[in-house]
Amino acid sequence: MSARTASPSSSGHPPGPPSPGTAPRSRPAARTPRDHARGALTGLAVGDALGAPAENMKPSQIRRRWGRIEGFVNEDPAGTDDTEYAILSGLLLVEYGADLTTADVEAAWHHWIADRDEGPFRGAGFSERGTLENLRRGLAAPITAQHRHAWSDGLAMRAAPFGVFAAGRPAEAARLVAIDGTVSHDGEGIYGGQAAAAGVAAAMTGGSSGAVITAALSVIPEDSWTARSLRRAVTTAGRARLDPSLSVLERERAVRSAVVIGGYPWTDLAPEAVGLAFGAFALSDGDFAGSVLTAVNMGRDADTTAALAGALAGALGGYGAIPESWSAAIKPVLGSCLPAMAGYHVRDIADLLVSDSAHTGRTSGPAGARVTHREGRAAS
């Protein structure tokens, strides 16, 4: 077991976040890289906010409380750790681009999370909590991922920015997300993140839902639990979608039954969450509202499955595929899980990820990723 101090960034100290910003209200031109990027990350945030109230619930419990969820059930919808960790990963990509290393990720987790005394990181998953404990003990990656939840969907939930950055290059998206994931995950947890990132990378080019699924499967071992779960989900979804005798509930039940292990207590299992998300995406043939609402109403880790389904469908259809009332509800994140991320907007991160500066390697320091305005006032 090794222990060392995390390496500094190229500017001589761990990278700090650029100042939070306010995304412009105008919609980008359809079918541009910026349109797909905003679709992916706004779709993630929308899915996260829609699914959060149903997290860890069974479909029957969802129906008893709300009927079928068809929109936001909270007056002030907000994302969870899924959106905030995705912003963190996006900022790392803007800072380092394709030159990202595990040491960079480790340094950022120290600087932005582990070394700060800013409360309990409310809503953080078990994998993130285990990683933070290991970092605070002085352990280094990959030892930091040696905890009981290295198989969780915590990497998959933050994988979309890698697909946005490596648009049209699923293998590169998978390579980069594995670098990020080495700090917190192992095995199936890494595979789940790679499938998610590769799927978003393929969706960014605006192809078919089938091409997105093929790309996701192409970057993970064929005999992995994640691959088997994903294949079962999309195969079942394809059959159910073509059967006119099935109701919406029966189609969702079929996909859920193909993936979920009955009686298993943990809902944040990467093979399950990734399977459900791709199953929802396939059942709706990439339609945004259908993909996200299917994921939400299947319950389990609903914020993550809906966030991933939203990232896939948003990347595929672009920003305009998201109902305007849903995208308008997405505000800068609250920092309820990661206080250092408070004030950032996913649309700002999306714009940065497709800018030229994000693809030129390492910047001279944190200012290279700077977003120029905090909501309502200029950044210092």
User: Which residues, 6 or more positions from 79, have their beta carbon under 8 angstroms from its beta carbon?
Assistant: 45, 48, 49, 52, 307, 330, 333
Is 304 marked within a binding site?
yes
**DSSP per residue, 214-237:** HHHHHTS-TTSHHHHHHHHHHHHH
In contact, 43 and 311? CB cutoff 8 Å: yes
Token digits of residue 374: 């905090």
Question: What phi and psi values does residue 300 have, to the nearest 5 degrees?
Answer: 60, -130
Is 214 marked within a binding site?
no
Is 372 marked within a binding site?
no
Instruction: Determine the Cα–Cα distance for residues 311 and 315; give it in Å rounded to an integer.
Output: 6
Token digits of residue 264: 């298993």
Is 115 marked within a binding site?
no
Q: By CB neighbour count within 10 A (0-12 exposed, 13-18 middle, 19+ buried), where does 5 fall?
A: exposed
Is 82 marked within a binding site?
yes
Is 80 marked within a binding site?
yes
Closest to 37 measured CA to CA, from 306, 366, 363, 317: 317
Annotated binding-site members for Mg(2+): 80-82, 301, 303-304
Annotated binding-site members: 80-82, 301, 303-304
